[in-house]
Structure 1
Amino acid sequence: MNTTAKIAKYAAPLLLSLAMCAANAAPLQGEMVSQGHAHEALFGVNASAQGLIAVGGAGQISTSKDGSTWQRINLDLGGRSLLAVSDVGGNAIAVGQQGVIVRRDTNTWQEQQSPTSERLFSVAQDGAGFVIASGGFGTILRSLDGGKHWEKLQIDWQALIGQSYEPHVYNVTVDDQGRAYMAGEFGMIARSDDRGTTWHTLHTGDESLFGLAFGQRGLAYAVGQSGTILRSQDGGESWAKIESGSDAILLDVSIRDDDRAVITGIREALSIEAGGQRVERLNNAQLLDSWYCDVGVYNGNFYVVGQKANVLKLSI
């Protein structure tokens, strides 16, 4: 497949469903800082103190130290795409199709031995050696040495979601206390306080969740199918749905230090005002004529990546 499963599975019935957000559009400036070609795509982006890393089709890795100038390489991964990337303290790890895992050692990216052939959608780490990755059919991988060695975790899905079905886990993240979270099918959000050994459920529902982000002061958002936006104000302990004004597929969310959030999706982009519930549609032609599946915050600006391997800088 040429795109992530989280896009392909739900895109067909909803591509033409572009409901307008009821609120006024947020003031926005968009700048295309890197462009690819028609048959290329970027699927993941990570922002850190070291800069930005974006990953995509056919092993593409693009990096920038200032958000404006980008350098690109393509790893020889046998045509496999990289779908997500995490960089904490210079320890960069990317994951993707057929269970591929690559890690940057100094300036060289090396493929690591993977315990799965399932597609990996997401990767996160705590900066102290704990790394977690998630993927198709309930795949959860863990590393305790910064991504050099990996194991596949056995999850009690019956206890978590009330059935033995192994759900796709589209997103994982690690908060500033080292707790791991995962989100996926059946509106599932679950947390582990012991580096992935045990999990407990925080939320279940009907719509799949694709994006998950934690901000400051206990704020967190999860986004997904049919315009779903969930918000937590207590560090993920409880979640409540807020109205998005959209039926689009929402793929990712990122939260700035001032609590402003930006959400990207398939021909849809939304923003949530700092400290509020008002959801605004970002009426930018570059956003709405394409799909962007990941977003990060760097130097106060939002960077979104997606179709045609484009990187769009959003100032809001």
Structure 2
Amino acid sequence: MIMLSKKFIHIGTPLNLNSRYKTRVFAVFFIIGAIFLPGCEAPLVMDKVSSQLKQPMQRTDFYQAFASNEEIAVLVGTNGVVLTSSDTTTWNRKILNEKPSLLAIDTCPDETFIALSFDNHIWVSSSNGDDWSSIQIDTQEQLMTVDCAPNGEWWVAGGFSTFLRSNDKGLTWQSSSLEEDAVITNLFFLSAHEAVATAEFGMLLVTNDGGRTWTISGFMPDEFYPHAAHFTSTSQGWVGGLNGFIYYTNDSGSTWQQQNADSAAPIYQFENVNGDLFALGDNATVLKFTDNHWKTIQSATAPVYLRASLSFNNNLLVAGGRGMFMKIDPSITALLVNETE
């Protein structure tokens, strides 16, 4: 067991390019597929293949994250895929140069977008979401999450409990670490001063000074790997991960309650839609928090993950592996669209 000490860290020192260690890289793509070999050969139906290739959403896509501004929803994934839509019905498809594997995306206060790729690049777009350029971040640690703070600062975090921030749109970066061998998996600002981060081994980090100082405020049970987190304040939040449990805290992680759920699927994302909280998981599972219980509204229907989610135009948008995309009306929990069917 790795013990993590409670400590403070201070953001502000220049990035150290001579870090001696690079953290182990955890899998962030949950790509589940199957190859079926027919018993006999049959002629290919090329018109169906050609038709599929013309669609903006394709079965070879593996979606990872959603973001939006007032006008545009943006969905990103592996192999440089970027999809944009203003109505969530008609989508435009773009493949970025070098086909980066995009892990996360966020919207900045000026309506622009920033995305993080697995090769430690920040990808930047204007508010229309279709003109992207990249900036390399020189660090030996694997970066896993990105967030744009209310003051416009860019934040990334990842291996070896490392935080980096830029206040000049990626020209320079300042870095700090807790010096603990733990991967930071989620980072999000709740206000100009308050932010929350989750990390490997169940670690919860909180800041109340805009990220200049971070405090380890608690540890989740079972030292699991938290993929999903949703916090309404630095005190109250939900966390889910690979063990399929959903934990709740209302005291900044000092204590945790495992909430009842009628699914044991690994949880990869949470989304709040008009006050209703949803969880996305493996095997295309969607849960809704109702009467202190997580109830399945979209049962396991396909051997693919759901990881990207967005509240947009009063709908819940979810996407994941093998081009899976669904639009769900949260008020009646009815499936409206599956673009890949």
| Interval containing the TM-score (normalised by the shorter chain) | 0.7 to 0.9
Deviation of 1:86 (Å): 0.4
1:294 aligns with 2:316: no
Q: Which amino acid aligns with 2:146?
A: V
**1:212 aligned residue (214, 225, 229):** 229
Matched residues in 2 for 1:234 and 1:148: separation?
35
d(CA) in 1 for partners of 2:172 and 2:145? 15
8 Å Cα contact 1:4/1:83 also seen in 2: no
- Give the match for residue 138 of structure 1: 161
Distance in 1 of aligned mates of 2:136 and 2:298: 43
Gaps of 5+ in 2: 1-24, 34-54, 334-341
Picking from 64, 75, 85, the partner of 2:85 is 64
Per-residue CA deviation, residues 79-137 of structure 1 (Å, 9 max, x unaligned), is 32111100134121000111011111465211123122544322112332222122234
Query: CA–CA distance in 1 between the matches of 2:195 and 2:135?
Result: 22
Equivalence map 1:28-67=2 (5 Å): 36-67=57-88
CA deviation vs aligned residue, 1:130-149 (integer Å, no higher than 9, x gap): 2212223433221223x333
Aligned residue for 1:29? none
1:252-272 deviations in whole A, cap 9, x for unaligned? 1111232x1111122152433
CA contact (8 A) 1:253 1:263 kept: yes
Report the equivalent of 1:188. 203
The structural deviation recorded for 1:59 is 1.5
Worse-superposed segment, 263-272 or 292-301 = 263-272
**Matched residue of 1:154: which SS?**
strand
Report if the CA contact (8 A) 1:124-1:172 is conserved: yes
2:283 aligned with 1:272: no
Which secondary structure state, in structure 2, belongs to the residue aligned with residue 226 of structure 1?
Answer: coil
Distance 2:56 2:255 in 1: 39
Counterparts in 2 of 1:79-228, with a 5 A limit? 79-89=99-109, 90-105=111-126, 107=128, 108-116=131-139, 118-145=141-168, 147-157=169-179, 164=180, 166-205=181-220, 206-215=223-232, 220-228=237-245
The match for 1:314 is 328
Question: Which SS does the other structure have where 2:198 is aligned?
Answer: strand
Which residue of the other structure, out of 254, 258, 266, is the alignment partner of 1:241? Answer: 258
Distance 1:225 1:216, change over 3 A: same
Greater RCO (Cα-Cα under 8 Å, separation 6 or more): 1
**Partner residue in 1 for 2:274:** 257
Separation (CA, whole Å) in 2 of partners of 1:302 and 1:80: 26
Q: 1:125, 1:132 within 8 Å by CA — same for their partners in 2?
A: yes
Structure 1 residues 37, 118: closer, same or farther in 2, change over 3 A? farther
Rg: which structure is higher? 2
Give the match's secondary structure for 1:308. Answer: helix
How far apart in 2 are the matches of 1:285 and 1:210? 19
Relative distance call for 1:212 and 1:179 in structure 2 (3 A) is: same
- DSSP 3-state at the match of 2:161: coil
CA RMSD, 1 decimal: 3.0
Tell me, yes or no, if the aligned pair for 1:173 and 1:212 is still in contact at 8 Å.
Answer: no
- Structure 1 unaligned residues grouped into runs of 5+: 13-33, 158-163
% same residue: 21
Say which SS state the counterpart of residue 309 (structure 2) adopts. Answer: strand
Q: Is the 8 A contact 1:192 1:200 kept in 2?
A: yes
1:8-62, CA deviations, whole angstroms, 9 ceiling, x for partnerless residues?
59x89xxxxxxxxxxxxxxxxxxxxx86333321111113323311111122111
Q: Separation in 1 of the partners of 2:162 and 2:81?
A: 23
Aligned counterparts of 1:82 and 1:153: Cα–Cα separation in 2: 22
State the 1:277 CA deviation.
1.4
Is the contact made by 1:54 and 1:61 (CA closer than 8 Å) also made in structure 2?
yes
Whole-angstrom distance in 2 between the partners of 1:62 and 1:237: 40
Is 236-245 or 292-301 further displaced after alignment? 236-245
Query: What's the CA shift for 1:154?
Result: 1.7
**Cα deviations by residue, 1:205-230 (Å, 9 ceiling, x for unpaired):** 31111111234897532211211212
Partner amino acid, structure 1, of 2:215: H
Number of equivalent positions: 280
Q: Normalising by structure 2, what TM-score?
A: 0.72
TM-score (ref. length: structure 1): 0.77
Distance 1:47 1:209 in 2: 24
Distance 1:250 1:226 in 2: 8
Q: Give the C-alpha shift of residue 178 in structure 1.
A: 3.8
Counterpart AA for 1:255: N
Structure 1 residue 151 displacement after superposition = 2.0
**Contact kept in structure 1, 2:287 and 2:298, CA below 8 Å:** no
